[in-house]
Amino acid sequence: GESVGLHLPTLSVQEGDNSIINCAYSNSASDYFIWYKQESGKGPQFIIDIRSNMDKRQGQRVTVLLNKTVKHLSLQIAATQPGDSAVYFCAEMSASSASKIIFGSGTRLSIRP
């Protein structure tokens, strides 16, 4: 069946290091992917998105990589800061699916001082 999952439920990173959060998806028809950040007690916040005609997209301190061959998505956060502590989850959508978006369950990122 379709699934969007995260390889690691928790990730601990030293402040200043780079963070890499991974996501696997199984629907090869998915063509739009989004990364969200959710801080404790708050709603999900859009970080960055990527469409399937791209392999890489960069934002401010964040980069999303898409590997369609192995159905893998990653979020890279450069120079991780304490404010990056949150749960990160990916979502996938498909143009061929009229009413569907699949969210992963999330990875918690914690920052060590």
Partner 1 sequence: IAGITQAPTSQILAAGRRMTLRCTQDMRHNAMYWYRQDLGLGLRLIHYSNTAGTTGKGEVPDGYSVSRANSDYFPLTLASAVPSQTSVYFCASSPGQAFKETQYFGPGTRLLVL
The token pair at 3 is 């699934």
* Minimal distance, residue 79 CB to partner 1, in Å: 25
Q: Cβ atoms within 10 A of the Cβ of 60, count?
A: 7
Q: Cβ atoms within 10 A of the Cβ of 24, count?
A: 17
* Residue 101 within binding range of partner 1, rule CB under 8 A: yes
- Pick the closest to residue 81 from 58, 39, 42, 109 (CA basis): 109
Site for partner 1 in 25-64 (CB under 8 A): 32, 34, 36, 41-46, 49
- Binding-site size for partner 1 (CB under 8 A) equals 22
Please give the residue ranges that form the binding site for partner 1 (CB under 8 A). Answer: 32, 34, 36, 41-46, 49, 89, 93, 95, 97-101, 103-106
